[in-house]
Amino acid sequence: MAGLRSGSPEAWGALCETYSERLWKYVARLLGSNRDAVADAVQETFLAAARSASKFDPERGTVWAWLTGIAHNQVALHWRKAATRRIDPAEPYFDDSPGGGASPEANLLTEDSVEQVRKILADLPPDYTSYLVAKYNDGLSVDEMVERFGGTVDSVRSRLARARRDFKKRYEAATLSEAGQTD
């Protein structure tokens, strides 16, 4: 981080090399398999990180937590633009999506659910999204999450519980809202 603050190209390269693959996967889980959208969000994340490197405070969290917070904001911006322009987030969400032999209606329901989950994750506070993705997508244990994000076992468990409650509340509200619109 000191190298980034001073504008060191080596530090920039090290940051990208260390975090680019993991950041790509994090963003792809929130945006889906639209490679252009993922690439744009990852690129904007690294550019914003370079611009704000002087503001990074290791007392507030790890470099990974800082980067995922920036990425989260980029993903949220993507979904806001998609909603206002009514663009189709299109492209299949996962190449290995469930229901290969399912009916087109079932596949649409699955895609709608996946899109809804992604939108909610993008709308949650960035740390909640990071914790939920780490736990349920990356399969990290609480100890591994402490290592990734910092804090204590108790603080990680507490944040994860709050993140689950917030997600559940938003998902139920979105589900009820959609049910009311279709009736």
CA 43 to chain centre: 14
pLDDT in tens, 7-20: 788 888 888 899 99
Mean pLDDT, the chain, rounded, equals: 80
Domain ranges of the chain: 2-182
pTM of the complete model beyond 0.75: no
pLDDT in tens, 57-67: 888 888 898 99
Nearest CA to 182 out of 118, 132, 106, 109 is that of: 109
